[in-house]
Amino acid sequence: MHLDAFIDQVRTRGELPDRKAAKRAVLATLETLAERVPVGLAEHVAAQLPPEIARPMVGVAVSHGSSREDRRKGERFDLTTFAGRIAWRAGTTEEVALRDAGAVLDVLDASLSPELMQKLGHVLPHDIRELLPEARQQDTETTSA
């Protein structure tokens, strides 16, 4: 998917006021996601995204984490921290950040291969996984059981 289409879909799904707000939401969500997942998975996700939003995601993934273990597994945090980091990066409230993150994850689901989205769902804790599209949540929960 091209950058313009990605941003436009996030703007529409998240009911954001303009493309600038949508791009801030995309970058904030993807960068925070890159902190939460293993660096290798973040790199695989970024490889299937437009370069303009992939580069910042990879930059965060590679530079984040003080230890090899942090990079291998990703930093452990819950939905509250996830929302707080997105809100801080995007300059919004946590409530808005969660709504925007849901829109970004919807578009991400449509952009990535199903196998990669399934891997992403497997490494996220249940509370963050709830932001994924409903069908993807069920797929992940079914294969986890």
Output the pLDDT for position 67.
55
Tell me the Ramachandran region of residue 132: left when phi exceeds 0, alpha when psi lies from -120 to 50, beta otherwise. beta
Number of structural domains in the chain: 1
Residue range of the domain that includes 103:
3-144
What local confidence, expressed as pLDDT, does residue 60 receive? 83
Nearest alpha carbon to residue 84 among 73, 93, 75: 93
Helical pair 51-63 and 39-47, crossing angle rounded to 10 deg: 170
Tens-binned pLDDT, residue by residue, of the chain (145 aa) = 899 999 999 999 999 999 999 999 999 999 999 999 999 999 999 999 999 999 888 888 777 655 555 566 788 899 999 999 999 999 999 999 999 999 999 999 999 999 999 999 999 999 999 999 874 555 555 555 5
Question: What is the crossing angle of helices 39-47 and 114-123, to 10°?
Answer: 150
Q: Supply the pLDDT for residue 68.
A: 57
pLDDT value of residue 52: 93
| CATH code, domain carrying 134 | 1.10.490.110
**Residues composing the chain:** 145
Q: What is the pLDDT of residue 59?
A: 84
